Structure 1
Amino acid sequence: MDDALWERGRGWALSMALIALPYYWDTNPAIVQVSLRTLTELLGTTPTAP
């Protein structure tokens, strides 16, 4: 696997986390936690509540 493949994978994970976070904020805390962890791992910081 080359670096470009890893970058695309990180982009996909970022996209999914950003979409899921506000959508499930009030209805599915488990997905919210996964999204927050994903964003923390990708960005190196913990996002704040919307």
Structure 2
Amino acid sequence: MFRDALDVDHATWARGRGWALSMAVIQLPYYRATNPVISANARHVIRETLAAAGTP
């Protein structure tokens, strides 16, 4: 697993997850009409980040 290879603690992983989520939330409305690739990736990141929020 990617996280195991990084060998980071829970707080570091949570900060990284929060950063990814914040970037995706900003990108989605900005690129929704102009860049379907970036907006699709933003939706993917949001789904995956929220799905993983309950796992340490």
TM-score by shorter chain over 0.5: yes
Q: 1:43 Cα deviation (Å)?
A: 1.5
Check if 1:20 corresponds to 2:21.
Answer: no
TM-score norm. by structure 2 comes to 0.75
Runs of 4+ in 1 over 6 A off after TM superposition: none
**Alignment match, 1:2:** 9
Counting matched residue pairs gives 44
Paired-residue identity, % = 55
- Give structure 2 stretches of 5+ with no counterpart: 1-7, 52-56
Could you tell me how far apart the structure 1 residues matched to 2:50 and 2:40 are?
Answer: 15
- Give structure 1 stretches of 5+ with no counterpart: 45-50
When the two chains are superposed, the root-mean-square deviation of aligned CA atoms in Å is: 0.6
